[in-house]
């Protein structure tokens, strides 16, 4: 029992934050931390930005809240148009929410209302990957493939059909293409067994986030899934809660692969840690059918409020003005090179993977067999604690679903400068050296 009134998760006592600026946070004892994971891969522009503050203050002075059924508001309209533009016009309609889980929840509900509106009410099931993470509300949890989070709720959620995605680190197939083809064939078989006419949509992250340690799925797989969805007659929902708004070096990760979703969700980087805002984007014809059939039966009080949307607009403007997609690609290359150099020093670094400024480092007990560390050893937590002692925040996770073991994410703000990447790698190097000594 602690004397804090707050409860989140079991874990060590945390330092109290004092203030933050750029890529650095300070605690109340004066210790500085380089934000190597943008909080929860959300503070994509770094901390303490005057431009975002000014945009928010200006909106607060005008009007902070209006309800979406009472008024249109200029920031929501402008942010909606801006998001549509970022998809190159592929998706024409936007519905605002306050978080990633809400965005996923909204996508699932819009997809269901679409199949009802198009006279296919027998479509009742979603397909998703294991492992995956799509949020913590019961609907989003139903499509999430992450055992520790699902376990207490399996009887309360509407579980999706969970299938395996490609694993370019551990597969035993002749080559990557053969592996992808086999995984796609198995997925097709699983959907055929479940009944293609029962599937509403396939939901997946085009580049994995925390649940897989930035696992890449690749163009061949994503194009295969797009074709499979078309064959099955179901929708493709891409979850870009974590990858959207530039994290991988393009506005959205699907733009690397040319695979256009029917529905797209995004959140974290849209408010960039300054205010909660997320969005569901959808094709016009999908929305039109739902609207013509009684409207979208869904909504949240704070959805599309002017303050949230003014924040999102200021974030997009900053990414454009400061050419942060270019910076993400350049600093991402620097970070990748540094991570690979560190990885060569230690046999327990099994795999380094990622794109842009989204990097995952997987730890293994045995590099030859790629055997993960035993779960109870909590290696991911140890290395994260050592990094924190060295003044570096990284994002830890262990996946218990048989694909990946311990891993951590390195996902600094898209604003990070070359010298700061150097500092990040130095601190990570010191943490890794200490972790190695502790293993010996
Ligand atoms: N989807 C993905 C891919 C995520 O990474 C997350 C959060 O980590 C979510 C959904 C849920 O977002 P939120 O925590 O904002 O509800």
Which pLDDT band, with edges at 50, 70 and 90, does 313 fall under?
A: very high
Q: In what order do the strands lie in the sheet with 24-27?
A: 17-21, 24-27, 32-35, 392-393
Q: Minimal CA–CA distance to 362: which of 132, 167, 178?
A: 167
pLDDT of residue 336: 98
Cα 137 to averaged position of ligand 1 atoms, centre (Å) = 10
- Ligand 1 atom at shortest distance from the alpha carbon of 102: 16
- Who contacts 111 (Cβ-Cβ below 8 Å, separation ≥6)? 126, 200, 201, 235, 237, 263
- Look at residue 22 and tell me whether its pLDDT is greater than 60: yes
| pLDDT score for 194 | 97
Alpha-carbon span 427 to 390, nearest angstrom:
6
What mean pLDDT is predicted for residues 382-411? 87
- For the chain, report the end-to-end CA distance as a whole number of angstroms: 35
Nearest protein Cα to ligand 1, atom 13: 100
Q: What percent of the chain has pLDDT over 70?
A: 98
Query: What spacing in Å lies between the alpha carbon of 21 and ligand 1's midpoint?
Result: 24
What atom of ligand 1 comes closest to residue 240's alpha carbon?
3
What pLDDT, on the 0 to 100 scale, is given for residue 375? 80
Q: What is the average pLDDT across 394-402?
A: 75
CATH of range 17-48+323-439; options 3.90.550.10, 3.90.1150.10, 3.30.460.10, 3.30.360.10: 3.90.1150.10
Tens-digit pLDDT profile for residues 200-218: 999 999 999 988 999 999 9
Domain 17-48+323-439 and domain 53-321, same fold? Reply is: no
- Which 3 state secondary structure label does DSSP give 202? strand
pLDDT above 90: residue 53:
yes
Element (H, E) at 221: helix 219-232
Distance from residue 338's CA to the centre of ligand 1 (Å): 28
Would you call 278 helix, strand, or coil by DSSP? strand
Q: Looking at residues 382-398, what average pLDDT do you find? A: 95
- 41, 267, 270: residue to mutate for ligand 1 pocket, most atoms within 8 A of CB: 267
Examine the pLDDT at 115 and tell me if it is beyond 90: yes
Q: What is the largest CA-CA distance in the chain?
A: 66
* Single pTM value for the model: 0.97
Check if the beta carbon of residue 157 is closer than 8 Å to that of residue 150: yes
Is the pLDDT score of 158 beyond 80? Answer: yes
Judge if the beta carbon of residue 203 lies within 6 A of ligand 1.
no
pLDDT of residue 168: 95
Is 313 within 8 Å of 305 (Cβ atoms)? no
Average pLDDT over all residues of the chain: 95
Tell me, what's the ipTM?
0.99
CA distance 294 to 117: 9
Residue 411 in this model has a pLDDT that exceeds 80: yes
- The reply to whether ligand 1 has any atom less than 6 angstroms from the CB of 237 is no
Three-state SS annotation for 163-195? ECCCCCCCCCCCCHHHHHHHHHHHHHHHHHHHC
- What is the mean predicted confidence (pLDDT) over 155-159? 92
Ligand 1 lined by 208 (C-beta under 6 Å): no
- Domain limits of the chain? 17-48+323-439, 53-321
Please say if the pLDDT value at position 428 is more than 90.
Answer: yes
169 bridge partner residues: none
Does the structure show a pLDDT above 90 at 397? no
Give yes or no for residue 146 CB within 6 A of ligand 1: no
The least confident of 76-90, 201-215, 395-409 is 395-409
Name the residue with the closest Cα to ligand 1, atom 12: 100
Its CATH architecture, for the domain 53-321, is 3-Layer(aba) Sandwich (3.40)
Atom index in ligand 1 nearest the CA of residue 132 equals 3
Residue 405 binned pLDDT confidence (cut-offs 50, 70, 90):
confident
The residue whose CB lies within 8 Å of the most ligand 1 atoms, and thus the one to mutate among 38, 44, 96, 101, is 101
- CA 71, CA 303: separation in Å to the nearest integer? 12
Percent of the chain with pLDDT over 90: 90
Between the alpha carbon of residue 328 and those of residues 232, 322, 349, the distances in Å are 36, 11, 24
Distance of CA 145 from the midpoint of ligand 1 (Å): 13
Write the residue with the smallest CA distance to atom 14 of ligand 1: 100
Q: Which of 167, 71, 92, 90 is nearest to 370 (CA)?
A: 167
Query: Is the pLDDT confidence value at 425 over 90?
Result: yes
């Amino acid at each position: 029992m602690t004397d804090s009134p707050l409860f989140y998760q079991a874990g060590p006592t945390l330092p109290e934050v004092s203030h933050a600026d750029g890529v650095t946070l300070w605690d109340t004892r004066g210790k500085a931390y380089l934000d190597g994971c943008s909080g929860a891969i959300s503070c994509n522009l770094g901390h303490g930005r005057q431009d975002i503050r000014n945009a928010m203050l200006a909106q607060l002075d005008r009007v902070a809240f209006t309800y979406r059924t009472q008024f249109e508001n200029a920031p929501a309209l402008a942010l909606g148009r801006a998001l549509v533009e970022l998809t190159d016009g592929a998706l024409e309609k936007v519905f605002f929410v306050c978080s990633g889980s809400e965005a996923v929840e909204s996508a699932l509900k819009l997809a269901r209302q679409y199949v009802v509106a198009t006279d296919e009410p027998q479509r009742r099931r979603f397909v998703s990957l294991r492992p995956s993470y799509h949020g913590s509300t019961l609907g989003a949890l139903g499509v999430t493939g992450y055992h520790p989070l699902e376990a207490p709720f399996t009887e309360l959620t509407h579980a999706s059909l969970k299938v395996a995605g490609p694993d370019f680190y551990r597969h035993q197939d002749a080559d990557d293409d053969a592996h992808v083809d086999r995984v796609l064939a198995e997925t097709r078989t699983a959907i055929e067994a479940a009944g293609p006419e029962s599937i509403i949509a396939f939901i997946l992250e085009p580049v994995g986030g925390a649940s897989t340690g930035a696992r890449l799925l690749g163009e061949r797989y994503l194009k295969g899934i797009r074709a499979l969805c078309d064959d099955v007659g179901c929708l493709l929902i891409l979850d870009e809660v974590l990858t959207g708004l530039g994290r991988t070096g393009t506005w959205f990760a699907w733009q690397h692969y040319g695979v256009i979703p029917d529905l797209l969700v995004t959140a974290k980087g849209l408010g960039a840690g300054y205010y909660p805002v997320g969005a569901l984007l959808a094709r016009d014809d999908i929305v039109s059918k739902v609207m013509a059939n009684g409207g979208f039966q869904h909504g949240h009080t704070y959805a599309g409020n002017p303050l949230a949307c003014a924040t999102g607009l200021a974030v997009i403007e900053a990414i454009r003005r400061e050419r942060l997609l270019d910076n993400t690609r350049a600093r991402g290359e620097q970070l990748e090179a540094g991570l690979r150099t560190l990885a060569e020093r230690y046999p327990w670094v099994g795999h380094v993977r990622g794109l842009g400024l989204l990097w995952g480092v997987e730890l293994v007990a045995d590099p030859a067999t790629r055997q993960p560390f035993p779960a109870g050893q909590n290696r991911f937590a140890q290395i994260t604690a050592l990094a924190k002692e060295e003044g570096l925040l990284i994002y830890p996770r262990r996946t218990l679903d048989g694909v990946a073991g311990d891993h951590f994410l390195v996902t600094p703000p898209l604003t990070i400068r070359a010298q700061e990447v150097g500092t990040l790698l130095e601190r990570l190097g010191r943490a890794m050296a200490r972790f190695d000594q502790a293993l010996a």
